[in-house]
Structure 1
Amino acid sequence: MAHLPAGVFQGLVGLVELQLSHNNLSSLPAGLLAGLPLLTALELDHNHLARLPPGLFDANGELARLGLAYNPWASQLLSVDSPC
């Protein structure tokens, strides 16, 4: 699976664990988890995610376990000037 359509989990308000590891996901739609207030565990390991949309977890106050390992995360290198 390489793509999750927006609203794919709509109506699953009782969902507590979601296993999405070992897919080919390269992005997640904003609001993907908005209708999952009871979600306690989300596994996204071993995908192709470089970043997550802002606010992805805003509606998931019960989220206690989040697996994000083995994704090619984009990072911005910061230059820090230090006195010599």
Structure 2
Amino acid sequence: MKKKLFSLLLAVVMVISAAPAALAATPFRDLEQGAWYIPAVDYVYEKGLFGGVSATEFAPNQPMTRAMFVKVLANNTANFTPYDGSTP
């Protein structure tokens, strides 16, 4: 009985200790908890497409400026190979 209780307690502690790391996928503090766009923000942050408006602010309700759009295009084409004139 004591082994089962200890195992259960250990499992609960492991899950609770791993939860903050899973919840903090991005450094942004202005995202609503449970919002529908959280997976998309995580994706674009991990891929380096978007970086937010500051180190801790993403501003999900702010309109995108032309400068932001150009930066996303530049970030997305970092591995772009210019056309060399040949056809495969």
What interval of TM-score do these two structures reach, taking the shorter chain for normalisation?
under 0.3
TM-score normalised per structure 1:
0.24
Max Rg structure: 2
Relative contact order higher in (CA < 8 Å, ≥ 6 apart): 1
Structure with the higher helix share, 1 or 2: 2
